[in-house]
């Protein structure tokens, strides 16, 4: 298939939402690209002029390269960890999707990424598979603004997709100690970061499904810990109860 056919490339809803959040710019990098569908769609639909797929693993990198070879010079695949393979000023946006929040945090906050963010990286489109609180904490610490915070349901799973945009001058791009600070936040703050503003949107079915699963999961953990007598289990029990209480205050359980 030629790249021009990619205008009609049919994507799963999760990837479609990600692609639609990317602004029309010259060049975007997709970190942890795997199948390469996001850069293929971005270039194929003319949303961006060029796209760079970055992969830390050789297998996916080779698959992406093969998909791109049949395509166009505007698509490039590079091997490397996070933003390391990017040069300063080369991209105006970065997509990091389908990974855990802690992995995305690490990609965004290593020393080299800090340099790129500080230099000029106006847009980040992020889709964590868990721990989205870390993404909101990253925004708060860095000065990036969350200008889209969307929940969508795709084949029975709820996904959170966030778009962060950089103000003219970033507050901070040195994240030493920021992860530990996150861990020391009060449970109330952690709960607020984890679920974001969607808790107030009672019409959002994807978020409601996610919320129900989270409530059930935490209640299951409590029931399990209740049966245990160890000191560690009691400490954990108190934590999870506090988390549940924080959730209930934020959006009262039915």
The answer to whether 99 contacts ligand SAM (rule: CB under 6 A) is yes
Indicate the residue among 14 and 251 with the shorter CB distance to ligand SAM: 14
Stretch that binds ligand SAM, among 29-37, 108-116, 201-209, 224-232 (CB under 6 A): 29-37
CB atoms within 10 A of CB 230: 9
Indicate the residue among 104 and 247 with the shorter CB distance to ligand SAM: 104
Rg (CA), the chain: 20
The answer to whether 132 contacts ligand SAM (rule: CB under 6 A) is no
Stretch 145-164: interaction string toward ligand SAM, x if CB under 6 A: --------------------
Indicate the residue among 67 and 240 with the shorter CB distance to ligand SAM: 67
Indicate the residue among 152 and 244 with the shorter CB distance to ligand SAM: 152
Spatial separation of the C-alpha atoms in residues 210 and 140, rounded to whole Å: 23
Structure token pair of residue 141? 């610490």
Minimal distance in Å, beta carbon 153 to ligand SAM? 16
What strands lie across the sheet with 145-154, from one edge to the other? 75-79, 48-55, 25-31, 93-99, 123-128, 157-165, 145-154
Spatial separation of the C-alpha atoms in residues 185 and 139, rounded to whole Å: 15
Stretch that binds ligand SAM, among 97-105, 150-158, 167-175, 236-244 (CB under 6 A): 97-105
The residue behind tokens 């692609």 is 19
The answer to whether 40 contacts ligand SAM (rule: CB under 6 A) is no
SS3 33: coil
Stretch 66-95: interaction string toward ligand SAM, x if CB under 6 A: ---------------xx-------------
Spatial separation of the C-alpha atoms in residues 72 and 102, rounded to whole Å: 33
Q: Pick one of 57, 102, 111, 238: the residue that binds ligand SAM (CB under 6 A).
A: 57
Indicate the residue among 117 and 244 with the shorter CB distance to ligand SAM: 117
The answer to whether 107 contacts ligand SAM (rule: CB under 6 A) is yes
Spatial separation of the C-alpha atoms in residues 120 and 113, rounded to whole Å: 11
The answer to whether 244 contacts ligand SAM (rule: CB under 6 A) is no
The answer to whether 60 contacts ligand SAM (rule: CB under 6 A) is yes
- Helix/strand/coil (H, E, C) string of 91-129? CCEEEEEEECHHHHHHHHHCHHHHHHHHHHCCEEEEEEC
Q: Pick one of 71, 103, 160, 204: the residue that binds ligand SAM (CB under 6 A).
A: 103
Spatial separation of the C-alpha atoms in residues 74 and 59, rounded to whole Å: 22
Structure token pair of residue 238? 């108190």
Minimal distance in Å, beta carbon 94 to ligand SAM? 11
Structure token pair of residue 232? 């560690």
User: Residues in the site for ligand SAM, rule: CB under 6 A?
Assistant: 31-34, 54-57, 60, 81-82, 97-99, 103, 107
């Amino acid at each position: 298939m030629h790249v021009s056919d990619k205008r009609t490339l049919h994507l799963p809803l999760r990837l479609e939402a990600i692609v639609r959040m990317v602004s029309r710019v010259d060049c975007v990098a997709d970190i942890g690209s795997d199948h390469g569908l996001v850069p293929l769609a971005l270039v194929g639909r003319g949303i961006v002029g060029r796209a760079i797929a970055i992969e830390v693993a050789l297998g996916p990198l080779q698959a992406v390269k093969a998909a791109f070879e049949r395509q166009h010079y505007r698509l490039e695949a590079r091997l490397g960890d996070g933003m390391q393979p990017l040069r300063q000023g080369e991209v105006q946006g970065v997509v990091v999707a389908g990974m855990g929040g802690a992995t995305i945090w690490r990609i965004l906050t290593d020393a080299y990424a800090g340099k790129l963010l500080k230099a000029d990286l106006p847009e980040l489109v992020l889709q964590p598979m868990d721990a989205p609180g870390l993404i909101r904490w990253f925004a708060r610490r860095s000065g990036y603004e969350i200008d889209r915070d969307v929940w969508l349901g795709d084949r029975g799973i709820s996904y959170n997709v966030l778009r962060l945009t950089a103000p003219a001058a970033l507050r901070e791009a040195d994240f030493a100690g920021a992860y530990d600070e996150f861990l020391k936040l009060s449970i109330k703050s952690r709960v607020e970061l984890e679920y974001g503003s969607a808790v107030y949107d009672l019409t959002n079915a994807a978020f409601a499904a996610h919320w129900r699963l989270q409530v059930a999961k935490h209640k299951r953990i409590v029931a399990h810990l209740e049966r245990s007598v160890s000191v560690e289990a009691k400490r954990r029990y108190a934590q999870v109860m506090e988390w549940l209480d924080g959730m209930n205050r934020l959006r009262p359980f039915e």
